């Protein structure tokens, strides 16, 4: 990955090196230029000084030559002109070195003084322009002017003889000084140039090194970028960064494109990413959570534990024009900067297959547990009892299916089914609980829940019944499994392992009863009252355990129950027993407080009567309170307040036989749906019987069921 800080310092270093190279070169060039100018000027002065130091000797020679020519009366014009030129050059050269500063001032002053003394002596010589000779017939001789001229030359010559050497020496010293200075300047220039070149070379080497390092670093950065790109391209999770405005950054992994089927994430608000894919409520929670992540004080571990997007069900386009549910897992990690949270790194994974697998695993585990529970339950139950129950349950579920099959188009027609479904299911559940076949009881309970929920819906349609019919199918499949298991247990118990034994147990099929010949709940084969008594005792024990109560069940006369009434009596007693356990019998502490025996007593007595048979069911529990029954009826909208107030105690007690009535607020496996006594009453009425209830609050509740002679009972469809 690229580190911007390090890169910036490297860039600054390179820029600094370049600036240093330029500066050094500029300084070297300026200094070199000045030195070169100085050398050039020194060379001019040196040249002038070198020439100057020769002139005194030349002037002396020319003066001597003039003297010689005057002596021999020769022509002096040429030498005179040369002398003039030499003096002129001397003046010029002297002017040059006088302009030059920095030369030894004492030497310069001495030279100036000597020349100023010499020059007046030379001036008349140069100024001479007359004829120096008088030509006569006898020969030539110096004229008067010539003699004066000769005297002037001699004076100048005398001065030259005295001072020309000193002048020469002074000028030579000046020349030597100048030469030394020029040599020193040249040496400085050389040193400067060398230092400049070395510095430039050093800086160039440094710049080259930096450039190489930069190139190497850029290559590493490029490789790192390529690697990052490869990671983002290959990784299976969708990665992106969220900024402080909860918007997605400019970089994201390709998996995000695959997950969301779009590619316009840059700058997209996180809220928009999920909009139309989750419910408004989930979206609001998600946005709140994202905001929380930016809080400085929120601890990451704590935030992780409350992440509402750990397993988010979203609706996605399935690529074929339809939509499908998928499960996404969002993980958030805060990226801290010097000023607090800089970004939030978000990782999104598709965990649909994991979720579905976990769900299947859980279902499999639940099935295994329920099968185990079922096995344990059945080990304690009589196989014949179980088999009879399965027949009865399958007939009951057939009736459920028949209720569903009745044509319905309107809400009223659909709603009409609910009461019948509830009654039938409640009855099956009661029997299953009595036999401790909890896996069946729980499934029926679940189905009852579904039907109960439908009651609360404002407008019912066929769509609402789809889950019900699916659950019914699942329940039937479960019953088939239980039947197979029962058959195996029978085989084990009988010690007859041949596979044919399983065929002896009737198979559960949803086919019309008249075709299958399977006995319905009310037509099953007769069983002894002893068997019923055992089953009821087991149920009483289980109910006592489930509800934390103590119950003593006393049964009498059940052996007298005619076969035709056995099923109804069993269903009724089961329901009444459950009601007694839930509503009637008080907990032991409450019973102690009212001086009752700790164990509640339930008596069931079946006997012949004048007109047929009579069943008495009595518990010594809390009894029924007519006022409480009225209040419950008003609460459940079965009666208005006025109607309830108008009821006498007898009519109030009769409320418990109304469909949908229960004083219990919460629904449990044993009570609360308000279909229990409704089922009992309907079953009794179906046999042409009557049911009545009497109570003494705090003392007892007594149900009396009167049934006609068995032969007079109406045929049951």
Partner 1 sequence: MLREEELKTFVDGTTQYFEVAAQQPATIGSPYLLEGEPAMHDYTGIISVSGKREGVVYFTAPRAMLTVLLMKMQENDFSHESMRDLVGEVANTISGNARRDFGHDFVISVPSVLTGDKPDIPHKPGARSFVIPINWRSHSAKLVVSLT
Q: Which one of 68, 120, 467, 641 is in contact with partner 1 (CB under 8 A)?
A: 467
Any contact of residue 466 with partner 1 (CB under 8 A)?
A: yes
- C-beta separation of 714 from 688 below 8 A: yes
Binding status of residue 609 toward partner 1 by CB under 8 A: no
- Applying CB under 8 A, among 226, 473, 560, 627 the residue interacting with partner 1 is 473
Cα(316)–Cα(348) distance, integer angstroms? 14
Q: Any residues with CB less than 8 A from the CB of 344 and at least 6 apart, and which?
A: 241, 242, 290, 293, 294, 332, 333, 334, 335
Question: In terms of CB distance, is 321 or 338 closer to partner 1?
Answer: 321
The binding track of 419-438 with respect to partner 1, each residue x by CB under 8 A or -, is: --------------------
594-603 long-range contacts, CB within 8 A, separation 24+:
594/698, 596/620, 598/550, 599/550, 599/551, 599/552, 600/549, 600/550, 600/551, 600/552, 601/551, 601/552, 601/554, 602/540, 602/551, 602/552, 602/553, 602/554, 602/577, 603/554, 603/556
Q: Is 401 in the site for partner 1 (CB under 8 A)?
A: yes
- Least distance CB 417 / partner 1 (angstroms): 7
Asked if 80 is part of the footprint of partner 1 (rule: CB under 8 A), the reply reads no
One residue of 409, 456, 459, 637 binding partner 1 per CB under 8 A: 409
502 vs 556, which CB is nearer to partner 1?
Answer: 502
Tokens of 649: 């105690």
Residue 417 lies near partner 1 (rule: CB under 8 A): yes
Nearer to partner 1, 215 or 318 (CB): 318
Beta-bridged to residue 555, according to DSSP, are 604
- Give one DSSP letter per residue of 37-104, joined into a string: HHHHHHHHHHHHHHHHHHHHHHHHHHHHHHHHHHHTT---HHHHHHHHHHHHHHHHHHHHHHH-TTS-
Residues 616-645: x where in contact with partner 1 by CB under 8 A, - otherwise, as a string: ------------------------------
Token pair of 8 as six digits: 């910036």
Measured in whole angstroms, how far is the alpha carbon of residue 236 from the centre of its chain?
A: 14
Q: Is 469 in the site for partner 1 (CB under 8 A)?
A: yes
The span from the CA of 189 to the CA of 36, in Å, is 7
Give residue for tokens 């190139």: 215
Q: Which residue lies nearer to partner 1 by CB, 158 or 466?
A: 466
Helix, strand or coil, per DSSP, at residue 366: helix
Q: Which stretch binds partner 1 (CB under 8 A): 3-11, 305-313, 400-408, 688-696?
A: 400-408
Contact pattern from residue 508 through residue 527 relative to partner 1, giving x for each residue in contact according to CB under 8 A and a dash for the rest = --xxx--x------------
Are 312 and 329 spatial neighbours (Cβ–Cβ below 8 Å)? yes
Kindly state the smallest distance separating residue 512's Cβ from partner 1, in Å.
6
At residue 350, φ and ψ (nearest 5 deg) are -90, 110
Among the residue ranges 22-30, 160-168, 388-396, 468-476, the one whose residues contact partner 1 (CB under 8 A): 468-476
Q: Which is nearer to partner 1, 512 or 530 (CB)?
A: 512
Question: Does position 458 bind partner 1 by CB under 8 A?
Answer: no
List the one residue from 23, 227, 234, 461 that touches partner 1 (CB under 8 A): 461
What DSSP line would sit under 176-236, residue for residue?
HHHHHHHHHHHHHHHHHHHHHHHHHHHHHHHHHHHHHHHHHHHHHHHHHHHHHHHHHHH-S
**Are the C-beta atoms of 150 and 67 separated by less than 8 Å?**
yes
Tell me if 398 contacts partner 1 by CB under 8 A: yes
Residue of 81, 85, 376, 470 that binds partner 1 (CB under 8 A) = 470
| Contact flag: residue 414 with partner 1 (CB under 8 A) | yes
Spell out, one character per residue from 288 to 327, where the chain touches partner 1: x when CB under 8 A holds, - when not. ------------------------------xxxxx-x---
User: What's the closest the beta carbon of residue 567 comes to partner 1, in angstroms?
Assistant: 23
Question: Binders of partner 1 among 318-377, rule CB under 8 A?
Answer: 318-322, 324
Q: Which of 201, 653, 685 is nearest to 423 (CA)?
A: 685
**In terms of CB distance, is 214 or 471 closer to partner 1?**
471
Query: In this structure, what DSSP letter does residue 560 have?
Result: G
Question: Distance between CA 695 and CA 344 in Å, rounded?
Answer: 69
Smallest separation, CB 516 to partner 1 (Å): 9
Between residue 474 and residue 493, which ones bind partner 1 under the rule CB under 8 A? 474, 476-477
Q: CA-CA distance, 163 to 623, in Å (whole number)?
A: 162
Please pick, from the candidates 252, 327, 465, 606, the single residue that binds partner 1 as defined by CB under 8 A.
Answer: 465
**Taking CB under 8 A as the rule, does residue 591 contact partner 1?**
no
Closer to partner 1 by CB, 241 or 355: give it: 355
Q: Do residues 697 and 624 make contact, with C-beta atoms less than 8 angstroms apart?
A: yes
> Which residues of this protein are in contact with partner 1, per CB under 8 A?
318-322, 324, 398, 401, 404-409, 414, 417, 461-463, 465-470, 472-474, 476-477, 510-512, 515
């Amino acid at each position: 990955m690229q580190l911007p800080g390090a890169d910036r310092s490297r860039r600054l270093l390179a820029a600094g090196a370049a600036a240093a190279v330029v500066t050094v070169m500029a300084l070297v060039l300026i200094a070199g230029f000045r030195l070169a100018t100085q050398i050039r000027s020194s060379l001019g002065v040196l040249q002038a000084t070198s020439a100057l130091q020769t002139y005194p000797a030349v002037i002396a020679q020319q003066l001597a030559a003039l003297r010689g020519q005057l002596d021999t009366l020769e022509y002096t014009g040429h030498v005179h002109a040369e002398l003039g030129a030499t003096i002129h050059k001397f003046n010029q050269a002297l002017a040059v070195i006088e302009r030059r500063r920095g030369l030894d001032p004492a030497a310069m002053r001495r030279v100036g003084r000597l020349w100023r003394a010499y020059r007046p002596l030379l001036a008349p010589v140069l100024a001479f322009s007359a004829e120096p000779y008088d030509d006569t017939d006898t020969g030539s001789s110096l004229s008067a002017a010539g003699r004066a001229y000769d005297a002037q030359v001699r004076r100048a010559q005398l001065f030259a003889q005295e001072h020309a050497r000193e002048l020469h020496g002074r000028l030579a010293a000046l020349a030597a000084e100048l030469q030394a200075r020029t040599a020193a300047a040249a040496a400085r220039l050389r040193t400067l140039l060398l230092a400049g070149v070395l510095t430039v070379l050093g800086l160039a080497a440094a710049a080259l090194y930096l450039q190489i390092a930069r190139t190497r670093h850029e290559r590493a950065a490029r490789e790192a970028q390529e690697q990052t790109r490869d990671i983002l391209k290959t990784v299976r999770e969708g990665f992106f960064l969220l900024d402080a405005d909860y918007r997605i950054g400019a970089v994201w992994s390709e998996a995000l494109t695959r997950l969301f089927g779009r590619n316009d994430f840059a700058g997209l608000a996180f809220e928009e990413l999920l909009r139309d894919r989750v419910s408004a409520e989930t979206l609001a929670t998600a946005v709140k959570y994202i905001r929380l992540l930016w809080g400085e004080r929120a601890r990451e571990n704590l935030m992780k534990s409350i992440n509402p997007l750990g397993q988010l069900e979203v609706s996605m386009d399935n690529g074929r024009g339809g939509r499908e549910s998928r499960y996404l897992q969002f993980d958030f990690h805060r990226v801290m900067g010097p000023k607090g949270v800089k970004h939030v790194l978000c990782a999104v994974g598709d965990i649909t297959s994991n979720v579905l697998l976990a769900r299947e695993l859980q279902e499999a585990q639940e099935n295994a547990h329920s099968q185990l529970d079922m096995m344990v339950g059945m080990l304690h139950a009589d196989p014949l009892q179980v088999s009879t129950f399965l027949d009865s349950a399958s007939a009951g579920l057939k009736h459920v299916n028949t209720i569903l099959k009745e044509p319905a188009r309107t809400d009223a027609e659909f709603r009409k089914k609910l009461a019948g479904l509830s009654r039938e299911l409640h009855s099956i559940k009661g029997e299953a609980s009595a036999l401790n076949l909890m896996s069946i009881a729980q499934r029926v309970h679940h189905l009852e829940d579904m039907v109960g929920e439908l009651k609360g819906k404002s407008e019912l349609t066929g769509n609402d019944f789809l889950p019900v019919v699916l659950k019914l199918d699942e329940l039937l499949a479960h019953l088939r499994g239980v039947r197979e298991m029962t058959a195996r247990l029978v085989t084990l118990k009988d010690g007859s392992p041949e596979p044919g034994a399983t065929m002896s147990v009737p198979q559960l099929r949803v086919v019309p009863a008249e075709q299958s010949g399977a006995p319905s709940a009310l037509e099953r084969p007769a069983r002894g009252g002893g068997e019923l008594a055992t089953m009821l005792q087991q149920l009483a024990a289980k109910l006592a355990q489930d509800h934390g109560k103590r119950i003593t069940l006393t049964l009498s006369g059940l052996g007298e129950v005619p076969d035709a009434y056995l099923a109804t009596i069993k269903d009724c007693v089961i329901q009444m027993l459950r009601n007694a356990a839930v509503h009637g019998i008080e907990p032991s502490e409450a019973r102690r407080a009212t001086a009752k025996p700790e164990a509640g007593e339930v008596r069931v007595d079946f006997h012949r009567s004048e007109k047929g048979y009579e069943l008495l069911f009595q518990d010594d529990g809390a009894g029924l309170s007519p006022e409480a029954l009225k209040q419950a009826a008003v609460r459940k909208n079965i009666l208005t307040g006025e109607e309830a107030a108008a009821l006498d105690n007898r009519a109030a007690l009769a409320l418990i036989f109304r469909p949908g009535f229960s004083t219990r607020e919460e629904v449990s496996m044993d009570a609360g749906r308000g279909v229990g006594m409704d089922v009992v009453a309907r079953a009794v009425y179906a046999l042409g019987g009557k049911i009545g209830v009497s109570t003494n609050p705090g003392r007892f509740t007594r149900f009396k069921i009167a049934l006609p002679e068995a032969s007079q009972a109406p045929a049951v469809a």
